[in-house]
Structure 1
Amino acid sequence: MKNGKVVILTLLISLSAIAMLCAKVEYGTASLNKFKSYEELKEFLQNRRDSGTYPYSPFLKSFGLLELNTMNDYDYSKTNIQVEGVDEADIVKTDGDYIYVISGQKVVTVKAYPAEEAAVLSRITFNGTLKQLFINGERLVVFYESGSWSEAQTFINIYDVSDRKNPVLKSEIAVDGQYFSSRMIGDYVYVVIRKAASLVEGEVALPKIYSEDGNRVIPATDIYYSNIPDYGYIFTTIVTVNVLEDKQEPNDETIFSGWTTNLYVSLENIYLAIGSGDRTVLHRIHIENGEISIEADGEVPGYILNQFSMDEHEGYFRIATTSQMASLPQDPSGIILHLQNNVYILNM
């Protein structure tokens, strides 16, 4: 899915006629650019607001998947695994011997194996809304939010849990915006955070990142945008951290686009899916050993159900969508709606 024209192999499956059509088509002339200045970003947002496409705030969530894996000489379950080698955060995680669970405003560590030794070992209390967590060996990663919707911050806390009775905070990073989702590949965690784009007294509040090395505003000239129009705009920031490093400056990239509603992550790419009326806008971000780079975007007709509507196979990105079409019958009593399922294969 390169900048410019996107070649798509389209498979249309009509629910009404059960007919199939397979063809190569050209769809979209999307391109990614960075803003040249803060003034250009502000003008971009003002133009969208004046056109009546601002703001846009759908509330959609992805679903999870339960998969069983084997470790040592006994079994335990891992949650939310869509792609082998790409872990997904959850409210409960286990390494086989211990269970780490979010309970209210606490993260509780429980000795789980062997069963006769089961016991609560520690509780960490947070001043905010706990979202999800990861466990990586003796490192616990916790995501939580603080603040109201418009002023929310997402915190990424990393703990040393080598002594399960006494977790030690080793790193804390905060990013303006709401937590959306995250993945862990090896020792690197990739976090997606969404911040509403707003004009306050005529100025745009750019997202900020807070870490041990200091606070910084993400400059407008580092923010990407697409020429694909949308109903509303937010800042979507992808942050990556190494769970084994105590103090670090995270890598990050930010896209100024519509509201990200679904996410698919392979070992090499993050795909952000944005529902935009009768189409889905896509952004591809390449990832490798904690490095991230925004590389391409495009769009396909229809809307997707959830993250399991997308996958990557042998260098191609596949996405299943549903389109809704209306027909006017001879009887003017009403409009007939037809649903059509589509499968698009995009050449990256």
Structure 2
Amino acid sequence: MKSYRRYMTSKMVWYILTFVVALFLNFLLPRLIPGNPVSTIVSKITSGMADTNSIKRVYETFEKEFGLNKPIWEQFLIYVSNLLHGNMGTSFGQYPRKVTDILASSIMWTIGLQLPAIIVSWILGNVLGVLAAYIKKGFDKVLFPVFLFISCIPSFGFAIVLVWLFAVVLKIAPASGGYAFDMIPSPTISFFLSVVQHYQLPFWSIVLVGIGGQSLGMREMSIYELNADYVKYCRLLGLKDSKIVRYVFRNAVLPQITGLALSLGTMVGGALITEIVFSYPGLGSVMFNAIAAQDFPLISGCTLLITTGVLIANFVIDIIYGLIDPRIKVAQQE
């Protein structure tokens, strides 16, 4: 037990250090984007104004409001202080909306799209990979190459193909949006059905592209494990194939669990291209618009969510690995 606590303590220290470094980069990198967001805002507000002094006062007001008139180190300290109080700042591009309000209104759309899609593609991909490695036949000769080919297609390209086929040609699915444009979000059956209808194409575009990559990794790991010495030894002992497959699956799935954790950790930003193609009202679209508008607080808010999600997911996986992987248990005892 002491060795496990020591293992987890060392992991926790590394994750904390990683988060601190990521927090600094999360603040700094958006500010390295060329251009001046305040000038963009002021140019929109003062369009048609001829008084340069008034324009200058407006500029200085916004610069002070956003804290951009302070040294970069002081801006960082203010940023960290605000984060500790749950304040991510005010959006430049959607002033005066708070970043937290913008993220809260869009993150559930992304999670609702990404979470089921990632899990479904992970399950189907791993099952296909095991079947392709163990049973082979049609699984390895037909289904596996098909999904592998689909996974090689860029996500935006495959999304466009789905839009063209099902929305333009067959006209059985809407081409864009999270719900009908003439509807207002409300807890009604008609709104729910509209959301489900608009959900289909983005969902399956993520699932079908993801299956190939998952199945490829699982197939390779399964083939490797099937040729391992312990499998040969189990066969010499006369163990049933079903029991051997369980051993193989348990070892082969460990890297896949890591991949699943990373996918879940990055799901808040992983559907960027899909959301743009389908005009889906999720976090990916928000981040894309924030980058285009040089909206530093909103960019930092999006990337902070992604960073935190990845670190938490990896930390949870490290905890699980320490409990279920015998190789880590042995290493802890050495």
TM-score by length of 2: 0.24
The structure whose residues are more often helix, as a share, is: 2
The structure whose residues are more often strand, as a share, is: 1
TM-score by length of 1: 0.23
Query: If you compute each CA radius of gyration, which structure gives the higher value, 1 or 2?
Result: 2
